[in-house]
Amino acid sequence: MMTTPSATEVAPSDFIRDAVAADLRTDNFPQIHTRFPPEPNGYLHIGHAKSICLNFGIAREFGGICNLRMDDTNPTKEESEYVESIKADVNWLIRDWADHLLGLKANGQTRAEDASEAEPFYASDYFDQVFEYALELIAKGKAYVDDLSPQDTDSYRIAGKESPFRERSPNENRALFDQMRAGEFPDGTRTLRAKIDMQAPNVWLRDPILYRIRHAFIALATTSKALPTRYARWNSKCIGLCTSGFCKTSTCLVGSRINTNSPV
């Protein structure tokens, strides 16, 4: 439910809050649940503060919860030092106005209702689940393995030109994706891309990259979820809500299009 502003308080209004209010009026969702998902590759800055206030602010206004979730999908740039710094900064910024809305999980688990020892959520907690979603997109012909170089991928997208590997069969894509995940190809040689529309006016919707190959190791949160040294790196920024700059035209639209074709 929504909190009632005081007589002197003017409730903020923007397209995100309007969408949340509309969902509550139609009972689309039982509870508002937002998240603040920083990548632990550095210290927080003023842009992160805006996102924290937006996500925790919406949770507060609409009686919801806001998860703290580390977007640990690029292990070559992430450190536990940044995880601890982010936790401290978030707790400092939400103190006395939204600290009771902070969503955490039990150590080593993906979620918990009541955790005595709690930690942030981690994107890598869901790698197996996201891998299954990728397989579903491949089976539906909604994703394909691409052999274009990073430079050619960018130039083809800018030109609205389809990759010569775009029409691979689901069976071939599945076999190649399994090899990607097994670490059988060098870094950067193949990607998994969503098959959307290479003529889309919004360049972000021109077959965005979902997985890249990165020979690395993830073990930021718990040893139980550590991945092999070779794996297909999930590009998590393609699945989710973009809060930076109240964006309506970039990765948030990509996530919307992907969610239409899978239960992400």
Query: Of the candidates 13, 90, 88, which has an alpha carbon nearest to the alpha carbon of residue 51?
Result: 90
What are the beta bridge partners of residue 180? Answer: none
CA 28 – CA 182 distance, rounded (Å)? 39
If one counts every other C-beta atom within 10 angstroms of the C-beta of residue 217, the result is 13
Q: Does 61 score more than 80 pLDDT?
A: yes
90 — pLDDT class (breaks 50, 70, 90) = very high
**Structure tokens of 180?**
């990607």
Looking at residue 204, its pLDDT comes to 86
Looking at residue 250, its pLDDT comes to 42
Average pLDDT across the chain, whole number: 81
C-alpha angle 86-88-92 in degrees, rounded to nearest 5: 115
Q: Does 201 score more than 90 pLDDT?
A: yes
Q: Which domains does the chain have, with CATH numbers?
A: 15-103 (3.40.50.620), 127-261 (3.90.800.10)
Residue indicated by tokens 């809050």: 17
94-136 residue pLDDT tens: 999 999 999 998 876 665 555 456 899 998 888 888 889 999 9
15-46 residue pLDDT tens: 888 988 888 888 888 889 999 999 999 999 99
Q: Do the beta carbons of residue 194 and residue 204 sit within 8 Å?
A: no
Q: Does 241 score more than 60 pLDDT?
A: no
**Structure tokens of 260?**
């239409």
What's the length of the chain?
264
244 — pLDDT class (breaks 50, 70, 90) = very low
Residue indicated by tokens 């399994």: 178
